[in-house]
């Protein structure tokens, strides 16, 4: 169960944070619409959580080295963690003005990702900063790219 939990939470947390932040930032910069951003978060929390869970399920099945129980636990933990972490970004949208909420969400997401990366590095007994920099750096790249794309599309369409 420990491996299934670790695999599901690692994937769900990372995907939930990066996908949701990318979508939020892109939708905000392209539409400046609270309802569009909120709808996007809910879509990620439901549809993408199911999609990622099925992806993990099929991936684990294809390895032919896991029990049925391990496969289903990884599937469940992936869905739950993706759903919970993606849904957590709803709170800032409901509490703050949209532009402030997006900044709060980015700080929240990068903090979660950095904290988890730190714990992962410690568990693997490697230096934490390179692991944190790699994971947070990828998230920042996604945020910058989706912001740029969201800003660009309204100007060319």
- Give the pLDDT score at 99: 97
Averaged pLDDT, groups of 10, the chain, 157 residues long: 87 96 98 98 97 96 94 95 97 98 98 97 96 98 98 92
- Tokens 């714990």 sit on residue: 119
Residue 140 has a pLDDT of 98
User: Would you list the DSSP string of 68-92?
Assistant: HHHHHHHHHHHHHHHHHHHHTTHHH
Residues 6 or more apart whose CB falls under 8 angstroms from that of 14 comprise 113, 116, 135
Question: Tell me, what's the pLDDT at 3?
Answer: 86
DSSP 22-64: HHHHHHHHHH--HHHHHHHHHHIIIIIHHHHHHHHHHHHHHTT
Going from N- to C-terminal start, the domains of the chain cover 2-156
User: H/E element holding 114?
Assistant: helix 98-124
Q: What is the pLDDT of residue 148?
A: 97
Predicted pLDDT at 46 = 97
């Amino acid at each position: 169960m420990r491996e299934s939990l670790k695999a599901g939470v690692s994937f769900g947390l990372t995907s939930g944070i990066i996908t949701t932040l990318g979508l939020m930032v892109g939708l905000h910069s392209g539409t400046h619409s609270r309802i569009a951003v909120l709808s996007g978060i809910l879509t990620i929390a439901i549809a993408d959580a199911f999609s990622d869970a099925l992806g993990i399920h099929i991936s684990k099945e294809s390895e032919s080295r896991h029990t049925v129980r391990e496969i289903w636990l990884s599937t469940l933990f992936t869905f739950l963690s993706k759903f919970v972490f993606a849904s957590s970004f709803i709170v800032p949208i409901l509490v703050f003005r949209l532009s402030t909420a997006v900044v709060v969400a980015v700080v929240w997401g990068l903090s979660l990702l950095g904290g988890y990366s730190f714990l992962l590095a410690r568990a693997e007994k490697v230096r934490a900063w390179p692991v944190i920099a790699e994971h947070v750096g990828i998230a920042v790249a996604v945020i910058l790219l989706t912001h740029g794309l969201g800003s660009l599309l309204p100007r060319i369409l």
